[in-house]
Amino acid sequence: MGNDGPLLTPLGEDIWIVDGPTIDFYRIPFPTRMTVIRLANGDLFLHSPIAYTEALAEELKRLGTIRHLVSPNWIHYAYIADWQRHCADTIAWASPGVRERAQSRKVEINFDRDLEDGPATDWSGEIDQLIVRGSKAHTEVVFFHQKSHTLVLTDLIENMHGKDLPLWIRPFAWVAGILAPNGKMPLDIWMSFSGNRDKLRDALTRMLDWQPNIVVLAHGDILRENAPQRLREGFRRLRPCGHSH
């Protein structure tokens, strides 16, 4: 692929990320990132698909068959319809609340199936998954690729560089706790779990039990060094169940 398009960056065996264009979200520039996992049968699992391009699609087809288009939460869905239109025999997966969000925004997406607490049979034994349920403000499905020990998050932790943000937003980003290298769960999402901290603690415990070596984030630097500790810090030092440190 040329320098003008996104590039696939391998994270481990059968897993890649693709950094896409920056989007404007409520006047804030957000980088976009898709995670691609190749299943044992050659099908590709596209987590939070970025903007479709023919060049990217061709690059992916050299890896396997574009099959699973996954919306991990109610915000990350916008490009799924484009991938559906261009790629035959895909399956679009809906996270909790995303159907209503798309309908309210008049975005036409034909979701085929719904993500649940346990892994779908399509990727059982290869990718674990868990729904992290907050208030109506935020619920997110997280995934763990067993082969590479990679945890894939979306908006639960953000780790963005201040230099990439407009001057006026940097103080707010600092208050929100999302600036690299010590990015955390955005303050608004953290507050949305104020009545569900026990559920959040259970979810964090499950993620740590998976023993990730890498934590992929949709926005900002990936957590590569000492991933379990960075995960705890990213969850604002919430103490997981049964973990003393």
Please report which confidence band the pLDDT of residue 2 belongs to, taking 50, 70 and 90 as the band edges: very low
Q: How confident is the model at residue 104 (pLDDT cuts 50, 70, 90)?
A: confident
Q: What is the 3-state secondary structure (H, E, C) of 70-97?
A: ECCECCCCCCHHHHHHHCCCCEEEECCC
Cα–Cα distance between 212 and 59 in angstroms, integer? Answer: 27
Q: Sheet containing 43-47: give its strands across.
A: 8-12, 15-25, 28-38, 43-47, 65-70, 91-94, 113-114
pLDDT at 245: 47
Mean pLDDT of 84-100: 95
CA-based nearest residue to 115, from 103, 98, 100: 98
Residue written as tokens 């603690």?
A: 201
Instruction: Give the tens place of pLDDT for each residue, 19-69.
Output: 987 766 656 667 789 999 999 999 999 999 999 999 999 999 999 999 999
- CA dihedral 215→8→50→200, nearest 10 degrees, is -10
pLDDT per residue as tens digits for the range 173-220: 788 888 889 999 999 899 989 888 999 999 999 999 999 999 999 999
The answer to whether residue 123 scores a pLDDT higher than 70 is yes
**What is 8-234's CATH topology?**
Metallo-beta-lactamase; Chain A (3.60.15)
CA end-to-end distance (rounded Å), the chain: 44
For 222, phi then psi, to 5°, come to: -70, 150
What are the extents of the domains in the chain?
8-234
Please write the tens of the pLDDT for every residue from 207-216.
999 999 999 9
Quickly state the pLDDT bin for 94 (edges 50, 70, 90). Answer: very high
